[in-house]
């Protein structure tokens, strides 16, 4: 289990790196949050604690390579991992529609947290957020989510066999 957690976290870190370099602004000036989509997918199969751990480590890496304050992305990804990890065994997101809905909810939750942290700590963050950018990222994440969920399921890193209810 530790190996799977390590591999999932490594994949998220790889996507954070790709997002900040190659994929930066590739879709109409917006960068998709693929690491967030991988986190949602993994949290569904691994549960809240492991998703929080992966989210924290991934967010810390994102904080280090970006200009954001240390702990900013860590807090966001930890809370997203916790929230979507709580759905393990309760909601199964095998259908494409639920994958899209979960990606939209996670992106909205991310922006709500960014807004709250911006109001509390740095008003410049809230001024940088535009509705256009948020809606474009929502759409891009929604379109990419079935692909990411399929690839994670294909690799075997997302366990869909343990379907017992908690």
Domain range holding 62? 2-155
- The answer to the question of residue 142 being in a domain is yes
Distances (CA, A) of 122 to 54, 111, 115: 26, 15, 10
CA–CA distance, 134 with 131 (Å, rounded to integer): 5
CA–CA distance, 10 with 39 (Å, rounded to integer): 11
- The answer to the question of residue 16 being in a domain is yes
Distances (CA, A) of 1 to 7, 48, 120: 10, 14, 37
- The answer to the question of residue 72 being in a domain is yes
Angle at 68 (CA atoms; ends 66, 74), nearest 5 degrees: 90
150 pLDDT band, cuts 50/70/90, is very high
Q: What is the pLDDT of residues 104-132, one digit of tens each?
A: 999 999 999 988 888 887 766 666 677 88
Tell me the average pLDDT of the chain.
86
- The answer to the question of residue 162 being in a domain is no
Whether residue 114 contacts residue 130, with contact meaning beta carbons closer than 8 Å, is answered with no
CA–CA distance, 151 with 118 (Å, rounded to integer): 34
Using alpha carbons, select from 108, 95, 112 the residue that is nearest to residue 141.
Answer: 108
- The answer to the question of residue 98 being in a domain is yes
Total domains in the chain come to 1
CA–CA distance, 52 with 18 (Å, rounded to integer): 22
- The answer to the question of residue 163 being in a domain is no
- The answer to the question of residue 20 being in a domain is yes
- The answer to the question of residue 39 being in a domain is yes
Q: Is 24 exposed, middle or buried (0-12, 13-18, 19+ CB in 10 A)?
A: exposed
Q: What is the pLDDT of residues 69-100, one digit of tens each?
A: 889 999 999 999 999 999 888 887 778 999 99
Number of Cβ atoms within 10 Å of the Cβ of 77 = 30
Q: What is the pTM of this model?
A: 0.88
CATH code for the domain in which residue 140 is found: 1.10.1760.20
């Amino acid at each position: 289990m530790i190996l799977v957690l390590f591999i999932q976290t490594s994949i998220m870190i790889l996507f954070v790196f790709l997002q900040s370099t190659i994929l930066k602004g590739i879709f109409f000036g917006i960068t998709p949050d693929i690491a967030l989509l991988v986190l949602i997918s993994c949290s569904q199969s691994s549960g809240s604690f492991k998703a929080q751990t992966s989210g924290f480590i991934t967010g810390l890496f994102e904080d280090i390579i970006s200009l954001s304050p240390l702990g900013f992305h860590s807090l966001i990804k930890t809370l997203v991992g916790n929230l979507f990890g709580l759905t393990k065994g309760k909601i199964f997101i095998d259908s494409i529609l639920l994958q899209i809905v979960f990606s939209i909810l996670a992106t909205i939750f991310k922006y709500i947290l960014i807004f709250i942290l911006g109001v509390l700590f740095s008003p410049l963050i809230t001024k940088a957020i535009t509705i256009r950018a948020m809606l474009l990222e929502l759409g891009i994440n929604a379109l990419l989510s079935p692909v990411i969920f399929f690839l994670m399921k294909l690799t075997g890193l997302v366990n869909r066999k343990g379907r017992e209810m908690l």
